[in-house]
Structure 1
Amino acid sequence: MGDGRGAGGGRPAWLQQYDLVGKIGEGTYGLVFLARTKHRRCCIAIKKFKQSKEGDGVSPTAIREIMLLREISHENVVKLVNVHINHADMSLYLAFDYAEHDLYEIIRHHREKLNHQINQYTVKSLLWQLLNGLNYLHSNWIIHRDLKPSNILVMGEGEEHGVVKIADFGLARIYQAPLKPLYENGVVVTIWYRAPELLLGAKHYTSAVDMWAVGCIFAELLTLKPLFQGVEVKATPNPFQLDQLDKIFKVLGHPTPEKWPTLVNLPYWQNDQQHIQGHKYDNPALHSYVHLAQKSPAYDLLSKMLEYDPRKRITAAQALEHEYFRMDPLPGRNALVPSQPGEKAVNYPARPVDTTTDFEGTISVQPSQPVSSGNAVAGSVAAASVVAPRQVPRPMPMVGMQRMPGAGMAAFNIASQAGMGGLNPGNISMQRGAAPAHQQQLRRKDPGMGLQNTGYPQQRRRF
């Protein structure tokens, strides 16, 4: 697949295989578009990266994301379908399977349109699948570092209806033992989902930061609003955010060295005696914020995810084995079907599409047909036909912990990858953003890591 221009110097050749529908997202990295493949009429999400600020023409964030996604494969992780490049402006495009929904839109739909909570089965199924994908990543020494509702996708109609996909790996990193200091990477994780060790300036951190974010997402699924809505001070280059810490302490109480021994070693705990240590928060009330009984399994799991000490915080593997997931309603592969016979399914709207924006982000696209979820094939672009959504739960295949090939995540060259068009933009080394392969050996065993997950709890009773 090349980037040559079509007849008359028009659209790039690779782009001619798609019909653009419109823009579905925008961020610091660039834009995300919805398109359809002309041959199969499958819906595809195309992520366009802005040019690198370093002047080398290709975004290191994009290269990092390509490196990770080409090496990992799991049902609950978004699938990278293809990579395209325009040499004219060195813009890079990543094509993914399209997911009609994300947790942000699902939560907002319940809060603003339906005005009622998400049912227990859906919450449990969404959370279980999120943890299942995260367990796979952590078992392969990958920290996501940007988990939030808008980065947790949910497939719409098709064979994968109701399946969760972890997306947006622009901030993801490989970590290994001995741990390298990661604070030099700058601020990570959107502030409302940022773990307290990050806010207090930890120079070393682990996959526990992802589990804190999952706890925040869990609480948001239960209450339909963010648990810790701090106001971010963007002018400061350091990670310390007093208002965010204030919001956390009001809900969870004041951390203490007795419960979190390494707390005293964190830079901003030591340096901000007046604000942090001087203001006492004596009445933690997490249960009242999330409306859960303190002795309930749901509250127990949530409180273990929001444990201050990252060394004591529950891991994804441990969370999957928690009692919460072994009680009715049991979690299922399709999170969007009714949990009880006769119960009406929620008709979630697809993510909004701006049909006035083209791939350049400036001019109107050609008139197109309205987006119909019935035309979307949730799965590989090679899928031959649309699969109707299932209205009843169905058996879930065993979801085993797949491991990446080899002992580590070896660096690769774009030109060597099938389907990449033989393109290596600017001959850039694909080792950027990742540790050398010889440093990526699994040399240490974290609690819960590498455990085999045998599928949904008591799966014979569900579907």
Structure 2
Amino acid sequence: MTKVALKFKPFLWKRSLRDSGSALMLQLKISAVDDPRTGSQRRFATMGDGNNRSSSNSEKPEWLQQYNLIGKIGEGTYGLVFLAKTKSTANRGKSIAIKKFKQSKDGDGVSPTAIREIMLLREITHENVVKLVNVHINHTDMSLYLAFDYAEHDLYEIIRHHRDKGNNLINQYTVKSLLWQLLNGLNYLHSNWIMHRDLKPSNILVMGEGEEHGVVKIADFGLARIYQAPLKALFDNGVVVTIWYRAPELLLGAKHYTTAIDMWAVGCIFAELLTLKPLFQGAEAKSTPNPFQLDQLDKIFKVLGHPTQEKWPTLASLPHWHNDVEHIQGHKYENTGLHSVVPLPPKGAPFDLLSKMLEYDPQKRITAAQALEHDYFRSEPLPGRNALVPSHPGEKVINYPTRPVDTNTGFEGTTSLQPPQPVSSGNAVSGGIPGAHGVNNRSAPRPMAMGMQRMQTQGMGPYNLASQAGMGGGMNPGNIPMPRGVAQPHQQHHLRRKDPPGAGTGYPPQQKPRR
């Protein structure tokens, strides 16, 4: 049997990440191996033995000499992301995104967030999830760097591009394809017991060039967790999900939550793709570590109306529902309805899907697997693999700008930067990525050929939902091997597609090919 790239002992799952972080740094042995899921070789830098040390502190680390650093393209709570080009002969000039983790607050140089993200990303393989291609360590400060395939666009920039063009709405085909692929990747994660917990436009990437042009990639797993058997209560992890995309159960102080929080965020993203502005744009309170977000709830209630215990039976058990009677229960809201802010026919399939994503009761909220079966994806225009191709012959190709690059920022001195504010496509129109104060080098991707097919070609298995539940090396919270390509019995009824014979692509069937 082929060895897995990262080797760790099962007992480490039973220890806190703070205690296990240093142990993992010493025990992880990362090398060039055959990837058991793809058959291809995936290279990882050797960690923990000092062989990656540079000969002089003034020189670049040996691993960094593999790349030409272009600049910073993003910043989050736990780290920064840089754009680089490979120097190797085989892939010279290939664009790579390198994520540098900020140092641990405990001062031991080991980032528990980095360890968690590596643990998850090494186990998951899906076309709509960002691919981890390398792991590097800087022995000077024991900081970790993750290298990913670079995506030229994200939904933040795509939405802003249309808003800057006079609120020129995104065409239906692109919206539907972006949403379908996002749900497809999310269904894969949920089938493998992974909650993302930070879905927002800036974390949904879109490939801009090559064979994967127009393919969605879910990124940034810094807050992701295995949810079936967590090491400790998820509530103890602190605040999750950027405020505008945070589900009402979280805002009301739920101590237990499910993958439904991801689906609420997807609903907010869906509405933003349709309207080019955030659906619930509340002001975030920051007075305490986990303050009551009254303004965000107010924005939600003004659109969806006041929740009731009849429609949401567990509402009465949520802490803030009782603790803030004056602000919540005492204020009466008129149910203006989604149709007042989202330009969709109330009886149409798009509105129905959006409404089910934004259901108050998380137990009634639609799942990713159920959403993929919705009638919205069975009607014209049908979703396709390339979300950026024109929706019909004669339509102008949109040259979306690539993500802004701060060419004045290097790796050095980045660990002391102040944490940024949450980003969303609803932030200042003139802004880029927070903290990127250098030169914004924007370049347009190559125009898409009109003759390129949208539908996926034969042999591309990742879109077969029936085969996704066991992908990713069979990871589960108990480290019990799971047969690849087979859903667990209690999940199978959610994952089996109802495609007609011969339509095993995973996309809704079409009457004729679209070109």
What TM-score does the superposition give when structure 1 sets the normalisation length?
A: 0.85
Which shifted more, 237-246 or 439-448?
439-448
1:27 maps to 2:91: no
1:283 maps to 2:335: yes
From the superposition, tell whether residues 178 and 232 of structure 1 become closer, same or farther in structure 2 (CA, over 3 Å). closer
2:26 is matched with which residue? none
1:455 maps to 2:510: no
Counterpart-to-counterpart distance in 1, 2:514 and 2:311: 39
Q: 1:244 aligns with which of 289, 292, 296?
A: 296
The CA RMSD over aligned residues, in Å, is 2.7
Q: 1:89 aligns with which of 131, 135, 141?
A: 141
1:76 maps to 2:76: no
1:408 maps to 2:471: no
2:13 is matched with which residue? none
The one-letter code matched in structure 2 to 1:437 is N
Shift of residue 288 of structure 1?
1.4
Counterpart-to-counterpart distance in 1, 2:387 and 2:59: 43
Q: Is the 8 A contact 2:81 2:98 kept in 1?
A: yes
Counterpart-to-counterpart distance in 2, 1:91 and 1:38: 22
Q: Secondary structure at the match of 2:402?
A: coil
Per-residue CA deviation, residues 53-90 of structure 1 (Å, 9 max, x unaligned), is 12221111111111111100000000001000001111
The one-letter code matched in structure 2 to 1:17 is Q
1:130 is matched with which residue? 182
Identity across matched positions, percent: 74
Q: Is the 8 A contact 1:230 1:247 kept in 2?
A: yes
2:277 is matched with which residue? 225
The one-letter code matched in structure 2 to 1:400 is N
1:16 maps to 2:68: no
Which shifted more, 266-275 or 223-232?
266-275
From the superposition, tell whether residues 118 and 267 of structure 1 become closer, same or farther in structure 2 (CA, over 3 Å). same
1:437 maps to 2:489: no
Q: Is the 8 A contact 2:474 2:480 kept in 1?
A: no
Which shifted more, 195-204 or 445-454?
445-454
Q: 1:213 aligns with which of 257, 265, 268?
A: 265
Q: Is the 8 A contact 2:397 2:448 kept in 1?
A: no
The one-letter code matched in structure 2 to 1:123 is V
Q: 1:391 aligns with which of 430, 450, 457?
A: 450
Counterpart-to-counterpart distance in 1, 2:349 and 2:208: 30
Counterpart-to-counterpart distance in 1, 2:314 and 2:280: 23
Counterpart-to-counterpart distance in 2, 1:239 and 1:438: 38
Q: Is the 8 A contact 1:200 1:239 kept in 2?
A: no
Shift of residue 112 of structure 1?
1.3
Gaps of 5+ in 2: 1-44, 46-50, 415-438, 498-503
Please show how residues 373-388 of structure 1 align to structure 2 within 5 Å.
none
2:315 is matched with which residue? 263
2:19 is matched with which residue? none
Shift of residue 404 of structure 1?
3.1
Counterpart-to-counterpart distance in 1, 2:390 and 2:288: 46
Q: Is the 8 A contact 1:100 1:373 kept in 2?
A: no
From the superposition, tell whether residues 448 and 26 of structure 1 become closer, same or farther in structure 2 (CA, over 3 Å). farther
Counterpart-to-counterpart distance in 2, 1:315 and 1:156: 29
Counterpart-to-counterpart distance in 2, 1:68 and 1:339: 36
Counterpart-to-counterpart distance in 1, 2:322 and 2:399: 50
From the superposition, tell whether residues 198 and 239 of structure 1 become closer, same or farther in structure 2 (CA, over 3 Å). farther
From the superposition, tell whether residues 372 and 406 of structure 1 become closer, same or farther in structure 2 (CA, over 3 Å). closer
Counterpart-to-counterpart distance in 1, 2:323 and 2:492: 32
Q: 2:98 aligns with which of 46, 52, 59?
A: 46
Shift of residue 36 of structure 1?
0.2
1:116 is matched with which residue? 168
Q: Secondary structure at the match of 2:117?
A: helix
Q: Is the 8 A contact 1:318 1:448 kept in 2?
A: no
Q: Secondary structure at the match of 1:81?
A: strand
Q: Is the 8 A contact 2:197 2:262 kept in 1?
A: yes
Q: Is the 8 A contact 1:159 1:389 kept in 2?
A: no
Q: 2:391 aligns with which of 319, 329, 339?
A: 339
From the superposition, tell whether residues 389 and 13 of structure 1 become closer, same or farther in structure 2 (CA, over 3 Å). farther
Counterpart-to-counterpart distance in 2, 1:178 and 1:83: 25
Gaps of 5+ in 1: 363-367, 376-387, 410-434
1:424 is matched with which residue? none
Counterpart-to-counterpart distance in 2, 1:265 and 1:390: 55
Q: Is the 8 A contact 1:330 1:462 kept in 2?
A: no
Counterpart-to-counterpart distance in 2, 1:230 and 1:317: 29
From the superposition, tell whether residues 444 and 64 of structure 1 become closer, same or farther in structure 2 (CA, over 3 Å). farther
From the superposition, tell whether residues 203 and 439 of structure 1 become closer, same or farther in structure 2 (CA, over 3 Å). farther
Which shifted more, 29-38 or 441-450?
441-450
From the superposition, tell whether residues 244 and 405 of structure 1 become closer, same or farther in structure 2 (CA, over 3 Å). closer
Aligned length: 422
Counterpart-to-counterpart distance in 1, 2:365 and 2:492: 10
What TM-score does the superposition give when structure 2 sets the normalisation length?
A: 0.77
From the superposition, tell whether residues 119 and 443 of structure 1 become closer, same or farther in structure 2 (CA, over 3 Å). closer
Please show how residues 309-388 of structure 1 align to structure 2 within 5 Å.
309-361=361-413
From the superposition, tell whether residues 86 and 67 of structure 1 become closer, same or farther in structure 2 (CA, over 3 Å). same
Counterpart-to-counterpart distance in 2, 1:448 and 1:352: 43
The one-letter code matched in structure 2 to 1:408 is M
Counterpart-to-counterpart distance in 2, 1:178 and 1:52: 21
The one-letter code matched in structure 1 to 2:456 is M
